[in-house]
Structure 1
Amino acid sequence: MIAPMFSPHYARTRSGLMHYVEMGAGEPLLLLHQTPRSWDEFRLLMPLLAEQRRVIAPDIIGYGASESIPDHSIERYADSVLALLEELGLDRVDLLGHQLGGIIAIEMSHRRPERLRRLVLSGTPYVDEEFRRERPPMHPLSMVELQDDGRHLMELWVRRSGFYPPARPDLLNRYVRDVLLLEDQAEDGHRAISTYRMEGRTGYRGPVLCIGATADPIAFHQVPRLVERLPQARLEIIQGGMVPLMEQLPEEVAALVSKFLDETVQADSAYGGTP
């Protein structure tokens, strides 16, 4: 159930039916979730950021309550978010992407840099041949075989629990719920990351904040590689942050994001540059 403070909507876009939630007023800030999550990943962060901004958190196409799709790819995701901006009449936005959401943000900044004022990239790797070659093979975290007795639910919980803070079953519960919505497509987002090619797509020269979380075993060591390719980027580290950083430590994230957006308000005329 959605709390009364949030305003849920649907938009019929050229890329399909998109569900999004918003709150607040002012300059628009778009939030893009990781896989296999939904807008709900930002439910604790949104009220903090919406004190000064209009915060919009969509379910990326193929996730949450947005339209399901057969063809998961970073390019497909980026196209759907750009289509949503068109439908909402938003010429330019600030954008925060977490993990998968950050990769989508890079693709958007490559295609339509003039649509983005500033980027916040959290736990976002540089997805090149080295990344694709060295990415460790993992047992599918979000895909389990259905069992008549419901044991698959416990298996799903246990597989993911090592990436989540202890004594936070509420966060794992939200994760499991989002996975169940995806059914047999729960791993398609990870496959989309593995096949994406970011080479030649980091020419955006507007203000960028990159956030690394020290207890994220998958993404933390990858973040500096992206920073190297965005010379204007500012790197901030959150100690003890884990994979669910957006909901684990929302106050810390909100403080970094708000400070960055406030300090760069005069610098966003540099958006859309080329190297």
Structure 2
Amino acid sequence: MTGTAPAAPALRKGYADSPFGQLHYAECGAGEPVLLFHQTPRSWTEYLRVLPLVGAGFRAIAMDTLGFGASAKPEGPHSIERYADAAEALAQTLGLDRYHLVGHHTGGLIALELAARHPGRTASLLLSATPYVDEEKRRGGGHAVDHVVPHPDGSHLLDLWNHRRAFYRPGEESALNRYVIDALTVLDHATEGHAAVRRYAMEERLPLVTARTLAVCAPDDHFALPSLKKLAAALACEARLLPGGHAPVPEQLPEEFARTVVEWATADRG
């Protein structure tokens, strides 16, 4: 009889109550929790193909950041700290006492903030394309990559597509479609996550991170690549280049990204 590969773990979706309103998440698998945080202005779908791969050995959970995706969108200024408050609320509602943290771009700062707050609960930390925020970055202006002005003829849809088209390779249009959907969901504040990054007082938080940490980046991600060595030096952690990809590397190289997550989460098992 010919053997068959085990079925991928089923994808489950849910909502968790929080002081901010309901928080949406998707998960696969069981066991040690791995929390994954997405970039701005995305949603859990950035990890659509990563979740079942990590979920083969872990409970892989990707939440929609507060204010994005299907999570609550309260009024008030966005901040990394408030995003982390919501992530804490999700972890508490789901009964997660200890977890591995994974964050990509903006999500990396959310993961870092959680690791700084809860060193005893953080089993490991993986920072993907995470910006290094210092005074120079806080003073600098942000790029308008996700900003469009709505037009009655719908031409802003093409504007969104074209703003990130260069990040994707031919054949990756389905991932680019997901980006456009996510950006349209938060069109009135699509760039707020970028602004929250620039306001983050990172220097105060770095010394509080004690978890085993890995920093990675895609070689073509020119937004994040300059931060890789700075971040690794500040955290005294290992830095790696992933074998290809751009800003949407979890979608472009899901197998390699998931393998890196799993290897790092299990590195201390001997």
Give your verdict on TM over 0.5.
yes
The answer to whether 1:127 aligns with 2:156 is: no
The answer to whether 1:189 aligns with 2:193 is: yes
The answer to whether 1:20 aligns with 2:2 is: no
- Corresponding residue for residue 167 of structure 1: 171
- Corresponding residue for residue 5 of structure 2: none
Mapped partners of 1:137, 1:83: distance in 2 = 29
Mapped partners of 1:107, 1:63: distance in 2 = 18
SS in 2 for 1:69: coil
Mapped partners of 2:26, 2:17: distance in 1 = 14
The answer to whether 1:61 aligns with 2:63 is: no
The unaligned stretches of length 5 or more in structure 1 are 267-275
Which residue among 233, 241, 245 is the counterpart of 1:241?
Answer: 245
- Corresponding residue for residue 182 of structure 2: 178
- Corresponding residue for residue 41 of structure 1: 46
- Corresponding residue for residue 79 of structure 1: 85
Indicate if the aligned counterparts of 1:16 and 1:61 stay in contact, CA closer than 8 A: no
After TM superposition, give the deviation of residue 149 of structure 1 in Å. 1.5
Deviates more, 1:114-123 or 1:162-171: 162-171
After TM superposition, give the deviation of residue 147 of structure 1 in Å. 1.4
What per-residue deviation string (whole Å, max 9, x for no partner) do you get for residues 149-191 of structure 1? 1111111111111222233111110000000111201111111
Indicate if the aligned counterparts of 1:202 and 1:229 stay in contact, CA closer than 8 A: yes
Mapped partners of 1:227, 1:114: distance in 2 = 21
The unaligned stretches of length 5 or more in structure 2 are 1-8
Mapped partners of 1:16, 1:113: distance in 2 = 26
The answer to whether 1:97 aligns with 2:103 is: yes
Which residue among 251, 255, 259 is the counterpart of 2:255?
Answer: 251
Indicate if the aligned counterparts of 2:115 and 2:211 stay in contact, CA closer than 8 A: no
Indicate if the aligned counterparts of 2:12 and 2:26 stay in contact, CA closer than 8 A: yes
Indicate if the aligned counterparts of 2:65 and 2:71 stay in contact, CA closer than 8 A: yes
Mapped partners of 1:189, 1:209: distance in 2 = 23
Mapped partners of 1:42, 1:254: distance in 2 = 9
The answer to whether 1:112 aligns with 2:111 is: no
Task: Provide the alpha-carbon RMSD of the alignment.
Answer: 1.7
Mapped partners of 1:164, 1:195: distance in 2 = 28
Mapped partners of 2:142, 2:95: distance in 1 = 41
Mapped partners of 1:175, 1:10: distance in 2 = 22
TM-score by length of 1: 0.90
The answer to whether 1:261 aligns with 2:265 is: yes
TM-score by length of 2: 0.92
After TM superposition, give the deviation of residue 196 of structure 1 in Å. 1.1
Mapped partners of 1:207, 1:227: distance in 2 = 12
After TM superposition, give the deviation of residue 25 of structure 1 in Å. 0.9
After TM superposition, give the deviation of residue 136 of structure 1 in Å. 6.1
In structure 2, do the counterparts of structure 1 residues 96 and 150 end up closer, same or farther at CA, with 3 Å as the change threshold?
same
- Corresponding residue for residue 199 of structure 1: 203
What per-residue deviation string (whole Å, max 9, x for no partner) do you get for residues 1-57 of structure 1? xxx931110111133210111110111111100100000100011111111111111
After TM superposition, give the deviation of residue 245 of structure 1 in Å. 0.5
Report % sequence identity.
44
Mapped partners of 1:246, 1:178: distance in 2 = 16
Instruction: Please give the residue correspondences for 1:206-217 in structure 2 after superposition, counting only pairs within 5 Å.
Output: 206-217=211-222
Mapped partners of 2:223, 2:174: distance in 1 = 22
Which residue among 16, 23, 28 is the counterpart of 1:11?
Answer: 16
AA matched with 2:253: L
SS in 2 for 1:13: coil
Indicate if the aligned counterparts of 2:142 and 2:195 stay in contact, CA closer than 8 A: no
Count of residues in correspondence between the two structures: 261
